[in-house]
Amino acid sequence: MRTQVAIIGSGPSGLLLGQLLAEAGIDTVILDRAGKDYILGRVRAGVLEEGTVGLLDKANAGARMHAEGLQHDGFSLAFDGRDHRIDLFGLTGGKRVMVYGQTEVTHDLMACRESIGALSIYDAANVQPHDFDGQAPFVTYEKDGVAHRIDCDFIAGCDGFHGASRKAVPERSLRTFEKVYPFGWLGILAEVAPVSHELIYANHPRGFALCSMRSAHRSRYYIQCSLDEKIENWSDARFWDEVRRRLPAHHAEAMFVAPSFEKSIAPLRSFVAEPMRFGRLFLAGDAAHIVPPTGAKGLNLAASDVHYLFSGLVEHYKESSSAGLDAYSQKALARVWKAVRFSWWMTTMLHRFPDTGDFDQRIQEAELDYLTHSRAASTVLAENYVGLPF
C-alpha cells in the first residue's frame, strides 16, 4: 500500500490532520493500535480555543460543535470563600472559548473521515515508523496476525505520550524536558446541571478543585488528589462532599449531585521533546508534549501543531516548497513552550503542594490577590487562556 502521509494515531491530532489534508486533496492513512470504541470512551479535554474551533471549521467538522457547544466569555477563580470572575471577552477584545468535550471532537472527526471514505486502520498492532531519515519512509504494522507495510512520503507521529513515534527516534537526536507534579486529578462525569454556567477554578487549603461541564445537563468535576489515591476509595458521596468543601459556600449549597458515570485519576506532568521533526517524521500533539490540564491547553496545543504541520505539507505538495516543513519544529515549539509555561503557572498558583512552606503559601496568596485586582495581570491570564495566536 502507498499513501502520501501516514498518520500514526487516531486521536484529535491524527484525525484533525487527516481531515485537513483530505480537504486539500492529500491522501492519508491513519493507523491506531486501539479500537474506535476505546478511543471514543476516553474522557479528556473540555475547552477549545478559538484557533481550534477555526481548524475544526476548516476541516468541515464543526457543525455539531456550533450546535451543541457552549460559548464561554469568562470563568471564575475561587479562593478565601469568594469568586473572582476573569472576563475573557472584555480583557481580550472579544475572544472567548468553546466548551465542547474532546470525546465529541473525536467523534465528529471520525464521522467526517468515514463520510469521505478515507482509510483508518484500527486495532493495528506493533505500528512502527521506518527510514524516516531518508527519502522513502514507510510504516509497518500487524492486523489479525498479518504483517503489512505502507510506503509514504511523510509520517505524522500523532500517537500520544506513550506512542511508538517518539520512541523510534534515536535518543541522541532527542532532548526532553520534564516536570512531574506531586499530585493528580480525580475527575468525574455526572448527568446533572453544572453548579455554575461558567467554569470555576478553586484554590482551597484542602486542595484544588475545578467545576466544568460538557453541556447544561452534564457536569465535569475534578479535585486534586495524592498520587497514591485509589479510585475504589472514592464513592460518589465522598467525592461530592470533598468537592463542595473546596468551593465557596454559595456554590457548595447550590450544587446538584447525581451518580457519576465516569470516574478516573490522571497524573499531572509537563513534558516537551525537542525537536519535533526528524527527517520525514513529524511529531504532533501529546507525542511531543504534555501539559497539566489546569490551563486547558493539551488538546489546543495538538491543534496548533496540526495547523503548522498541515500548512507545511500543503506548501510541499502544492508549491513544491519545503519552507513550512523546515520551520515546523521551531514554530510549533515556540507556541508549545508558552503554553507549557502558562499551564505550569496556573498549576503552581492553584494547587496545594505537599512541601509548600509558609513563604511559598504567602507568595501563592499574593499571586491570586494581584491577579484579581490588576487589569494588567488579569489580561495576561485571559490572553493565554483564550489561546495565543498561531
Positions marked active-site? 72, 201, 293, 297, 385
Q: Before 275, cis peptide (omega within 30)? A: yes
Nearest distance from residue 44's CB to ligand FAS, in Å? 4
Interface with ligand PHB (CB under 6 A), residue from 195, 211, 296, 339: 296
For the record, the C-alpha cell of 162 comes out as 506513550
Interface with ligand PHB (CB under 6 A), residue from 220, 246, 289, 335: 220
294 contacts ligand PHB (rule: CB under 6 A): yes
Helix (H, G, I), strand (E, B) or coil at 364: helix
Nearest distance from residue 354's CB to ligand FAS, in Å? 21
102 contacts ligand FAS (rule: CB under 6 A): yes
34 contacts ligand FAS (rule: CB under 6 A): yes
Nearest distance from residue 319's CB to ligand FAS, in Å? 27
Interface with ligand FAS (CB under 6 A), residue from 6, 17, 30, 127: 127
Taking 3-state DSSP, the helix, strand and coil percentages for the chain, each rounded to the nearest 5, stand at: 40, 30, 30
Rg (CA), the chain: 21
Beta-bridged to residue 187, according to DSSP, are 222, 264
Sole window of 6-14, 42-50, 236-244, 269-277 interacting with ligand PHB (rule: CB under 6 A): 42-50
Interface with ligand FAS (CB under 6 A), residue from 49, 153, 242, 286: 286
Interface with ligand FAS (CB under 6 A), residue from 162, 197, 362, 375: 162
CB 138 within 8 A of CB 286: no
Interface with ligand PHB (CB under 6 A), residue from 11, 46, 160, 207: 46
Judged by CB under 6 A, the chain residues 245 through 274 that form the site for ligand FAS are 266
13 contacts ligand FAS (rule: CB under 6 A): yes
Sole window of 24-32, 62-70, 291-299, 370-378 interacting with ligand PHB (rule: CB under 6 A): 291-299
9 binds, among ligand PHB, ligand FAS, none (CB under 5 to 8 A by kind): ligand FAS
Residue that the C-alpha cell 476509595 belongs to? 233
What is the b/e burial string over 185-209, where b = at least 16 CB atoms within 10 angstroms of the residue's CB?
Answer: bbbbbbebbbbbebbbbbbbeebbb
- Please choose, from the candidates 308, 295, 105, 290, the residue with its C-alpha nearest in 3D space to the C-alpha of residue 210: 295
Please give the full DSSP string across 220-254, using - where no structure is assigned.
Answer: EEEEEE-TT--GGG--HHHHHHHHHHTS-HHHHHH
Judged by CB under 6 A, the chain residues 36 through 55 that form the site for ligand FAS are 39, 44-46
- Please choose, from the candidates 346, 335, 246, 368, the residue with its C-alpha nearest in 3D space to the C-alpha of residue 296: 346
Q: Give the contacts of 48 (CB within 8 A, at least 6 positions apart).
A: 56, 65, 69, 97, 98, 99, 100, 105, 299, 300, 303
| Continuous segment of H or E residues that includes residue 76 | strand 75-79
Beta-bridged to residue 138, according to DSSP, are 130, 151
12 contacts ligand FAS (rule: CB under 6 A): yes
224 contacts ligand PHB (rule: CB under 6 A): no
Shorter beta-carbon distance to ligand FAS: residue 62 or 163: 163
Question: Cα separations (Å) of 76 from 88, 102, 206, 269?
Answer: 10, 22, 18, 24
158 contacts ligand FAS (rule: CB under 6 A): yes
Sole window of 66-74, 139-147, 288-296, 318-326 interacting with ligand PHB (rule: CB under 6 A): 288-296
237 vs 259: CA distance, rounded Å: 9
Nearest distance from residue 294's CB to ligand PHB, in Å? 5
220 binds, among ligand FAS, ligand PHB, none (CB under 5 to 8 A by kind): ligand PHB
Interface with ligand FAS (CB under 6 A), residue from 214, 244, 297, 335: 297
Shorter beta-carbon distance to ligand FAS: residue 102 or 364: 102
45 contacts ligand PHB (rule: CB under 6 A): yes
Helix (H, G, I), strand (E, B) or coil at 256: coil
Please give the full DSSP string across 284-348, using - where no structure is assigned.
Answer: -GGGTEE--GGGS-HHHHHHHHHHHHHHHHHHHHHH---HHHHHHHHHHHHHHHHHHHHHHHHHH
Residues in contact with ligand FAS, counted by CB under 6 A, come to a total of 32
- Which residues bind to ligand PHB, rule: CB under 6 A? 45-47, 199, 210, 212, 220, 293-294, 296
Name the site residues for ligand FAS (rule: CB under 6 A). 8-14, 31-34, 39, 44-46, 102, 127, 158-160, 162-164, 266, 285-286, 293, 296-299, 302
